[in-house]
Structure 1
Amino acid sequence: MPRTTDSNTSLSLTAASLSALYPESFSGEEALNALGSQTLNGLNDGASLTLTNTVATHVTATLHNDALTRPMDALVAEIRQLPADATAEGYQLVLRPWLWWLTLASNNRVFQNLSTSDIVTTIFKAHGFSDFLLKLSGSYTPREYCVQYAETDFIFVSRLLEEEGIFWFFTHEEGKHTLVLGDSNDAFVPIPNGPKVNYLGQQLGERELHGIRSGQVCMQAVAGVYRATDYEFTTPTTSLYSQAEAVAGPRSMYEHPGSYNAKARGDSLTKQRVDGLRSQEKRFVGESDCRWLVPGHWFTLAGHDDTTLNIDWVVTAVTHEASHDGYQNRFEAIPKATPFRPQRTTPKPRMHTQTAIVVGKAGEEIWTDEYGRIKLQFPWDRDGNNDETSSCWVRVVLPWSGKGFGMQFVPRIGQEVIVTFIDGDPDRPLVTGCVYNGDNALPYALPANQTQSGIKTQSSKGGGGFNELRFEDKKDAEEVFLQAQKDFKINVLNDTTATVGHDETLTVQNARTRTVKEGDETVTLEKGKRSVTIQTGSDNLDVKDSRTVKVGANQTHSTGGNYEHKVTGNYNLTVDGNLTIKVTGTLTLESGASFTIKSGADLAAQATTSISQKAGTSLSNQAGTSLENKAATTMTNDAGISLTNKAAASQTVDGGGMLTIKGGLVQVN
């Protein structure tokens, strides 16, 4: 049985949980931006190994070349027993880097305002891994909204790194392997025990020759130009078109969307993309027994007949075959002078329509920004707090939108909305509508009100009130209902025409004001009656100019109290028939100047008790033919100074019983 530790062997094993295992053979592959795996076969001539304690433990397989070594560390992903022989038990180990453990976990979650490096390192640490090194020279804009959806953690991390043009590889030491993240060729390190590697060709020699046995250059056709564009809604007229060119020509790649929202970001990404195309153009493919070739490490080729190949090369992939009898590998490399960027081979999930709940700040009912965007909580998001931090601002589709015009409805906290994703991109959600659910019932109960449709809002904050426009389409009960919870304002810049086919009722609980600023107002009642009733209060009519009232038939005016009519100018009253003024109390007619009563026929003044005529200066009663003053009992004509009764022809003064004429001086002529 070979020894478990042998300084002269080509292969040795260091593993605390597998110290009794003797390695027989080792094979596997490594590559830039690839997990790789190795298979190790070994024998155990002692007690059976405890398999349950070996999975996820470190195993370091060391390749030897005299005093020089090359460790390859990994974790045990699988161990199986092989058929035993008479002397020993056989075991096979599948070894993988710690990053592979991220393939065993998947998630649906949201990362906000974090750079790619922050996101991936957060995931590494969440898995309990800290053996990573960032060798990033670029600056990375935080991702406002980044979604992992139905992806393993490894797929998600790989996708983000590829999108940013970040490559990765491992460095190895006994009991440890470190993930290195890089974004420029400066991140590559020299191979162990290098960097010089001789090109041996088919020379025969001892182990110390240790070089490349064969190698061929491979040239591949690639596109030389990369173009991309995208759209940013906050600057809709700004072109985000970007172009990067390695080799001018008709072969170009064009991508939309380019997954960026700023021109500078687009320029950077297109440069990365074209570098990724160029890095596939020239490769050096070969076989060797050089144990030091490690992906992400560079070597200097020496001794090749084609001196143009004696340059620095970066190893991109290696396949190992090792046993105690020897070692060989197959490898690929690219010129170190060629910028390397990984290919974007990991697809981004394409999301279909989903539903989400509108969320916002605690204590608020509406949470929005200047663009009418809202925040969402998806049902699959276990980390969201159902508040304003649960998502990015999400735009809302409306039937109409324009520059300062269109429709405006902001979904409110607690509503369920339909969410689609622009180009299926999980990082670009878009709300397309709202749906009712068990908590949010329809405004009109169904199916009882299935003929009703409309818009009903809710007062905020606190609710309790609403504005509503409702249509009832039930046959013979059609109705349009409009409610304003508080004020109702209509602004018509030109004409308004309304036609009511039957009755109209207007009820105003408080005051009503109607103003016609310029022009005429016409109210026409073609047929029927008009009634105005003021049950409590007064009626004031103020006409600055003329007023005409025309009544085709009778008019009755009833005043419960006093009636006062004041005319600043003249007052003319024309009656085609009779005029009767009936006063229960006293009737007073007073003129500041002359007072004339004129009758085309008779004029009669009659009082049940007495009639008094009084003039401050003179009083004249005159008749064209005769004038008669007659009293049934007594008649008195009294003047303070003089009294004259005069007739042009004759005058009769007759006392039926007695006539008395009295004066300080009586003259009868």
Structure 2
Amino acid sequence: MIAERFRFHLESKDFAAERFHLVALEGREAIGELFSFTVECALAAGDAVDASSLLGAKVCVVTTLEGLEVRRFHGVVAAVRDKLEPAADYRTYRLHIAPQTHHLRLVHTQDIYQDMTVPDIVVAKLKLCGLDAQASEMRLSHPYPQREFVVQYRETDAAFISRLCEHLGISYFFEHEFEGEKIVFTDHEGGFRSLGEARFNPDGDYRDVYLLELDAELVPSTYIVYDYNYRIPLVSIIGSAELPGGGGGMAEYGCHAKTPEESGQLALIRSEEQQSKHQVFIGASNKPAFYAGGVIDLTNHPRKTEAQLLLTEVRHQATQPPAGRAGDASYRNTFRGVPTGFCYRPARVTPRPRIDGLLTGIVEPGPGGSADIAHIDAEGRYTIRFLFDTAPTERQKASRPVRMAQPHAGPGYGMHFPLKPGIEVVMAFVDGDPDRPIIVGSVPNPLTPSPVVSRNQNENTIRTVSGARIRIIDR
């Protein structure tokens, strides 16, 4: 545990941070999660501030060792606690510091993305919360295919980004540079940067890495990913991967793979996701430079002579005496890490939204259609405007081509009564997946009334838009 030579202080361009003397710090960083830091500050009673005035301010916690800067923790003040001391010569506040991407947690919405890759969707969301190109980085090993139709449904922007990345095995973490924090997305080992050597020293004086333990867990050995693509119904969309030394297996259906090659890639990602928890090291150190997403070269361990670890989680703790009081400062962290040599994949922990009921939409003219005639493509599909889309009406986009369920269908025969633009339709979703809509029927409304109402309730009617009619009257 570092003593007197360690110090930490607060900086900000948004308020007089020099008046805030930090006495305690706790923080947690983890791959695939937004970081969180809490600092306890003491102010002279005459310098007290309104707690709400600090919300949203950009701040930086600077740590120094023997007068030299070691690391910065950037962020914004997401929450404040004023301890409201009734009679004291100082005031105490607890500031909760989160990344700028914390704003993604404050947006809960529905949205539709079409013909975009997952990285492009992520970048679009980051821009909406004010992050420019310098505040984010894509360290990806290969281009990703476009997704025809992706729906964000009743979830925050943060959850939406997380689940999309988790599905494809894309990790994200934060690097804190001099001017601010940067969110980094990566899908390969080379995307994680080295922190250099970390010496193991178990002598009890809390220097370097002073504790290291290993948790080993049995994981499945066989991974099968398969799906159905109605565009190529005779092609088997299936892929598999193996992990040596495991037991059992996992089969995943409905993964949005369009080809056998995509299924095979996803199966490999699923195996690497499980491998990421097969062996996990737990340790403790006094290294403030440790962060989730950094790689350390562990040396001097009697049983692990050479161990390179990717840090997946780091928890920080630091204290220092109030201004004007004698005493030692202290810093320590605990960490979790996995061996390198394979591609780390984040666990899929973010819930995927489901639409288990029915929703309504409006038939759009579609490409080549008109106000009177909806475009029906070569496969008999329609474009639909979803009513849950939060974009202004003039900016709402029609969906990808959507199939319509029929009471009878076959190769070149069956039933189909074409829908016109403006008709309200009822949508179901295959396996509850918002990205897989299907039209199950149409319903009347005051703009498109039913041909059978109270005045002719004894009629059984089929009537076309031109007025052609088949009518059976029950007496």
Work out whether the TM-score is over 0.5: yes
2:167 to 163, 168, 175: 163
Structure 2 stretches lacking a partner, 5+ long? 321-328
Aligned to 1:232: 229
SS at match of 1:112: strand
SS of alignment partner, residue 414 of structure 2: coil
Q: Structure 1 387/118 Cα, relative in aligned 2: closer, same or farther at 3 Å? A: closer
**Is 1:452 equivalent to 2:459 in the alignment?**
yes
Could you tell me how far 1:307 is from its partner in structure 2? 3.1
* SS of residue paired to 2:349: coil
Cα 1:307–1:274 shift into 2, 3 Å = same
Matching residue of 1:27: 26
* Per-residue Cα deviation, 1:441-485 (whole angstroms, up to 9, x for no partner): 1223x2222221121111xxxxxx3222111121xxxxxxxxxxx
Q: How does 1:133-212 map onto structure 2 within 5 Å?
A: 133-191=137-195, 195-204=196-205, 210-212=207-209
Contact 2:101 2:129 in 1 (8 A): no
Q: 1:97 aligns with which of 94, 99, 110?
A: 99
**Percentage of matched positions with identical amino acids:** 27
Determine the C-alpha separation between the residues in 1 that align with 2:70 and 2:99: 20
Structure 2 match to 1:573: none
- 2:276 is equivalent to residue 268 of structure 1: no
Per-residue displacement from partner, 1:548-599 (whole Å, max 9, x unpaired)? xxxxxxxxxxxxxxxxxxxxxxxxxxxxxxxxxxxxxxxxxxxxxxxxxxxx
Give the C-alpha shift of residue 83 in structure 1.
Answer: 4.0
State the distance in 2 between where 1:430 and 1:456 align. Answer: 24
Please report the TM-score for the alignment, with normalisation by the length of structure 1.
0.65
Displacement of 1:203: 3.7
Q: Which residue of 2 aligns with 1:367?
A: 375
Cα distance in 1 for partners of 2:286, 2:447 equals 70
Residue 122 (1) aligns with residue 124 (2): yes
Decide whether the 8 Å contact of 2:109 with 2:157 is kept in 1.
yes
**Post-superposition CA distance 1:352-404 (Å, at most 9, x none):** 21111111244442221011111111222132757994111100000111111
Highest Rg: 1 or 2? 1
Assess if the C-alpha contact under 8 Å between 1:83 and 1:89 holds in 2: yes
Shift of residue 9 of structure 1? 4.5
Aligned-partner Cα distance in 1 for 2:80–2:69: 29
Report the more deviating stretch, 48-57 or 404-413: 48-57
**Mapped pair 1:42 → 2:66:** no
Q: Is the 8 A contact 2:224 2:250 kept in 1?
A: yes
Question: Which residue identity does 2:315 align to in structure 1?
Answer: T
Which protein is richer in strand relative to its size?
2
Query: Equivalents in 2 of 1:202, 1:59: separation in Å?
Result: 37
Give the equivalent residue in structure 2 for 1:87.
89
Q: 1:253–1:384: structure 2 CA closer, same or farther, 3 Å change rule?
A: farther
Evaluate the alpha carbon distance shift between residue 384 and residue 47 of structure 1 in structure 2; reply closer, same or farther with a 3 A threshold. closer
1:358 aligned to which of 359, 363, 387: 363
Q: Which residue is equivalent to 2:326?
A: none
Distance 1:453 1:386, change over 3 A: farther
Q: Which letter maps to 2:60? A: T
- In 1, Cα distance between the equivalents of 2:395 and 2:403? 17
State the one-letter code of the partner of 2:171: F
Give, in whole Å, the separation in 1 of the partners of 2:364 and 2:193.
49
Aligned pairs for 1:296-311 within 5 A? 296-308=293-305, 310-311=306-307
Aligned residue in 2 for 1:400: 408
CA RMSD of aligned residues (A): 1.9
387 and 98 in structure 1: CA distance in 2 versus 1, 3 angstrom threshold? closer
Alpha-carbon distance in structure 2 between the residues aligned to 1:220 and 1:360: 55
Q: Within 2, Cα distance between the matches of 1:91 and 1:299?
A: 35
Q: Are 2:219 and 2:247, in contact at CA under 8 Å, matched by a contact in 1? A: no
CA distance, structure 2, for counterparts of residue 390 and residue 234 of structure 1: 20
Compared with structure 1, are the counterparts of its residues 49 and 386 closer, same or farther at alpha carbon in structure 2 (3 Å cutoff)?
A: closer
The separation in 1 between residues aligned to 2:246 and 2:278, in whole angstroms, is 15
Matched with 2:339 is 335
**Alpha carbons of 1:87 and 1:385: their partners in 2 closer, same or farther (altered >3 Å)?**
closer
**Higher relative helix content:** 2
Q: 1:312 aligns with which of 303, 308, 313?
A: 308
Matched, 1:379 2:387: yes
Per the alignment, residue 108 of structure 2 pairs with 106
SS at match of 2:124: helix
Aligned counterparts of 1:364 and 1:222: Cα–Cα separation in 2? 58
Q: Which protein has greater RCO, CA pairs closer than 8 Å, 6+ apart?
A: 2
* Aligned counterparts of 2:176 and 2:436: Cα–Cα separation in 1: 40
Report how far residue 336 of structure 1 moved: 1.7
Contact residue 240 and residue 263 of structure 1 kept, 8 A: yes
Decide whether the 8 Å contact of 1:275 with 1:341 is kept in 2: yes
One-letter code of the match for 2:376?
A: T
Closer/same/farther in 2, CA of residues 174 and 25 from structure 1, 3 Å limit: farther
Contact residue 20 and residue 42 of structure 2 kept, 8 A: yes
Deviation at 1:22, TM superposition (A): 0.8
List gaps (5 residues or longer) in structure 1.
Answer: 1-6, 459-464, 475-669
Q: Deviations over 1:52-85 (max 9, x none)?
A: 4421222211222222511111211112222446
Kindly tell me the number of residue pairs found equivalent between the two proteins. Answer: 453
- 1:575-586 matches, cutoff 5 A: none
Q: Give the C-alpha shift of residue 338 in structure 1.
A: 2.7
CA distance in 2, matches of 1:163, 1:44: 46
Q: Which stretch of the first structure deviates more once superposed, 247-256 or 147-156?
A: 247-256
**Equivalent AA in structure 1 for residue 48 of structure 2:** S
Cα distance in 1 between the residues matched to 2:232 and 2:341: 39
Shift, 1:431, TM fit: 0.3
